[in-house]
């Protein structure tokens, strides 16, 4: 257990050291890990008693002497946070407020780390890993003023370590991608500003500008592949811009791109005010971004301004649709919502989720994305949740999806009563998968036409992941899904498939859902399989209130005009559709293929 050293009377503060810019060290010390919080005193007391909490991991009892080999929970996330040393910053903040003795504990831990972890030769794989070194460099740099005031004799070794961090970050071969690179640029900028190294400032700004133009497209969508990381990156880039402004007096025009990001984030928010679980996203509510659309979705439509469009297609591979943003007929929270994925499948925090559909109606998730669980690539749950089989899409049994292949959106159309999308996926060698989706949130119905063509016999699995609280029963050619307030019916033309239900299987992995970090729950998955060198699976989805159960049947017929589909719901409700290679139409009522073909013209 670690104890606090005896307080010592601080020396008289000296003037700003010529070795560094005190002004920059003080002005750049802001951001979520470095801002004072109401929990600072509690965190300091825990450290004084030898307890270290690095959420979302358990609390760890520190030894009398840290070796820096520690990994008590066999968790990469914990080791990364441990070596960032940001957990020391409450000691710095409280020391600045008058608890001067706390800086000795800060110094003893920091000096121990510096001694045992020389550049590139740390005691853990993460000692000098990308992003970790940048976070630690900022932790060291922001402590310089209080150390100068209280323990000035300790400045030289700390300044030397900061300079080593700067040299490390300036080396191009150490720079990675995504938000890790962003933090590396930010760390180099801070070091350059504080150590008065203009060449490092210039390099950090240049790298940031180049990366920003590559990371964000013209619609303000980030490259990460996960909705939650779109928000995280938005906040990080905004913090970096503020630091660049302080360090140089101006920021590149490329930073204007991030201002479009909150609109895309608003579209990705479900009617319950939480982000859809796309990619490495947990149950998470957007708020506090200073944007009218985010204020709207995070307040259930009581504040801010709703986005203009009900349907949004983003070129980076995201489609969001909802029945309304809230009006006199339907409140924001009562709206129905769906998401679809296409585009690159190898995003940094993305999953192999091409063509996947999620569905929300009646204040509940009906079809879910399976979540992220953790970042440990060796974990079998993590590996499964990254895979195509864990999404509401198509997968080829026994074949790995090539995530370097982009899933294409080849056709789309938005109409008053329905939307139509066509996707094409060539990510399985020798195979072409296509999916047509016709969906009407207004009518509570969707049609999915899945097809495949292969150069050898394959097994294609179609998966529909249900909410963990849902129940089910089988009827002829239908699986009836019941939730607390809703009924979802998955129906197929008579005799075309034999659906099965999988829940919580580990051999093979299927039927798992992860809403938050390291939480995994068994959930039902409705699966169908087709074997051959070509095939088609037609699925009708009907989603209504549970108090109004409506039996569904679907029929299909090949015609000269295209694939003619008819859905009957509860003997009183009917829908007709016509699907061609490039287009489709969905109408209410019974209509012939010939009649529908005139609508397509």
CATH at residue 155: 1.50.10.100
Whether 579 is covered by a domain: the verdict is yes
Whether 251 is covered by a domain: the verdict is no
Whether 323 is covered by a domain: the verdict is no
Q: What is the Cα–Cα distance from 477 to 346, expressed in whole angstroms?
A: 36
Handedness of CA 163, 169, 171, 173 (dihedral sign): positive
Whether 510 is covered by a domain: the verdict is yes
Whether 306 is covered by a domain: the verdict is no
Size of the chain, expressed as the number of residues it contains: 601
Whether 224 is covered by a domain: the verdict is no
Boundary-marking domain end, from 164, 185, 215: 215
Do 371 and 506 fall within a single domain?
yes
> H or E element: which one contains 360?
strand 357-361
> H or E element: which one contains 253?
none
At residue 32, the pLDDT reads: 92
The 3-class secondary structure across 178-208, one letter per residue, is: HHHHHHHHHHHHHHHHHCCCHHHHHHHHHHH
Boundary-marking domain end, from 153, 188, 215: 215
Identify the CA nearest to 422 among candidates 438, 410, 439.
410
The answer to whether 431 touches 417, Cβ cutoff 8 Å, is no
Q: What is the Cα–Cα distance from 107 to 364, expressed in whole angstroms?
A: 51
Q: What is the Cα–Cα distance from 426 to 271, expressed in whole angstroms?
A: 33
Q: What CATH number should be reported for the domain holding residue 455? A: 2.70.98.70
CB atoms < 10 A from the CB of 599, how many? Answer: 14
> Looking at the 3D structure of the chain, how many domains does it have?
2
The answer to whether 243 touches 190, Cβ cutoff 8 Å, is yes
Which residues, 6+ apart, have CB-to-CB distance to 411 below 8 Å? 420, 421, 422, 582, 583
Q: What is the Cα–Cα distance from 484 to 471, expressed in whole angstroms?
A: 9
Q: SS3 of 491, please?
A: strand
Do 347 and 203 fall within a single domain?
no
280 alpha-carbon distance from chain centroid: 4
At residue 70, the pLDDT reads: 97
pLDDT along the chain (601 residues), means of 10: 40 57 98 96 98 96 97 96 98 98 98 97 95 98 98 97 98 97 98 98 98 95 96 96 98 94 98 98 92 97 97 98 96 98 96 98 97 93 97 97 97 97 98 98 98 98 97 95 95 97 97 97 98 98 88 96 96 93 95 94 79
Boundary-marking domain end, from 197, 215, 233: 215
Whether 278 is covered by a domain: the verdict is no
Range of the domain at 210: 22-215
Looking at residue 514, the DSSP 8-state letter turns out to be B
CA dihedral 68, 71, 75, 76 (to 10 degrees): 20
Q: What is the Cα–Cα distance from 348 to 371, expressed in whole angstroms?
A: 15
> H or E element: which one contains 537?
strand 524-545
Q: Which two tokens stand for residue 349?
A: 């925090």
Whether 320 is covered by a domain: the verdict is no
The answer to whether 578 touches 594, Cβ cutoff 8 Å, is no
């Amino acid at each position: 257990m670690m104890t606090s050293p005896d307080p010592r009377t601080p020396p008289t503060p000296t003037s700003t050291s010529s070795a560094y810019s005190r002004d920059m060290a003080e002005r750049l010390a802001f951001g979520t890990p470095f801002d004072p919080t109401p929990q600072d005193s509690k965190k300091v007391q825990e450290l004084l008693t030898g307890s270290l909490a690095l959420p979302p991991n358990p609390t760890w009892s520190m030894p009398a002497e840290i070796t820096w080999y520690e990994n008590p929970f066999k968790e990469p996330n914990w080791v990364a946070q441990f070596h960032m040393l940001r957990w020391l910053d409450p000691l710095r903040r409280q020391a600045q407020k008058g608890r001067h003795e706390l800086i000795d504990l800060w110094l003893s831990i920091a000096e121990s780390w510096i001694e045992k972890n020389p550049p590139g030769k740390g005691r853990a794989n993460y000692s000098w890993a990308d992003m970790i070194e940048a976070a630690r460099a900022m932790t060291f740099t922001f402590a310089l003023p209080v150390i100068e005031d209280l323990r000035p004799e300790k400045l030289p070794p700390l300044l030397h370590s900061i300079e080593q961090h700067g040299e490390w970050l300036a080396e191009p071969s150490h720079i990675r991608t995504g938000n890790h690179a962003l933090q590396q640029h930010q760390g180099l900028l801070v070091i350059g500003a504080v150590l008065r190294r203009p060449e490092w400032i210039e390099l950090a700004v240049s790298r940031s500008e180049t990366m920003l133009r590559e990371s964000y497209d013209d619609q303000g969508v980030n490259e990460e592949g996960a909705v939650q990381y779109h928000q995280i990156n938005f906040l990080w880039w905004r913090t970096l811009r503020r630091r660049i402004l302080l360090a140089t007096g101006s920021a590149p025009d490329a930073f204007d791109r991030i201002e479009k990001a909150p609109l895309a984030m608003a579209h990705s928010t479900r009617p319950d005010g939480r982000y859809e679980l796309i990619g490495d996203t947990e149950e998470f509510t957007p708020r506090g971004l200073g944007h009218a659309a985010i204020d709207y979705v995070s307040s259930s439509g009581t504040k801010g301004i709703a986005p203009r469009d009900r349907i949004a297609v983003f070129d980076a591979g995201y489609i969001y649709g909802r029945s309304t943003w809230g009006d006199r007929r339907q409140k924001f929270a009562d709206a129905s919502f769906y998401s679809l994925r296409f585009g690159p499948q190898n995003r940094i925090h993305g999953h192999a989720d091409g063509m996947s559909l999620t569905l929300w109606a009646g204040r509940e998730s009906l079809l879910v994305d399976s979540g992220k669980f953790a970042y440990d690539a060796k974990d079998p749950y993590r590996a499964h949740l990254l895979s195509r089989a864990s999404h509401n899409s198509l997968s080829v049994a026994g074949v790995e999806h090539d995530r370097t292949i982009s899933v294409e959106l080849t056709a789309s159309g938005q109409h008053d009563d329905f939307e139509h999308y066509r996707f094409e996926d060539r990510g399985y060698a020798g195979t072409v998968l296509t999916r047509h989706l016709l969906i009407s949130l207004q009518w509570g119905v969707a049609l999915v036409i899945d097809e495949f063509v292969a150069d050898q016999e394959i097994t294609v699995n179609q998966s529909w992941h249900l909410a963990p609280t849902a129940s089910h029963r089988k009827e002829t050619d239908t699986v009836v899904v019941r939730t607390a307030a809703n009924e979802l019916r998955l129906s197929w033309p008579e005799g075309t498939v034999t659906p099965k239900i999988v829940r919580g299987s580990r051999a093979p992995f299927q039927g798992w859902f992860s809403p938050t970090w390291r939480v995994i729950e068994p959930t039902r998955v409705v699966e169908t399989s087709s074997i051959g060198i070509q095939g088609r699976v037609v699925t009708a989805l009907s989603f209504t209130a549970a108090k109004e159960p409506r039996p569904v049947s679907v029929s299909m017929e090949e015609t000269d005009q295209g694939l003619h589909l008819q859905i009957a719901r509860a003997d009183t409700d009917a829908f007709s559709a016509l699907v061609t290679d490039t287009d489709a139409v969905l109408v209410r009522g019974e209509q012939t293929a010939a009649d529908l073909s005139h609508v397509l013209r």
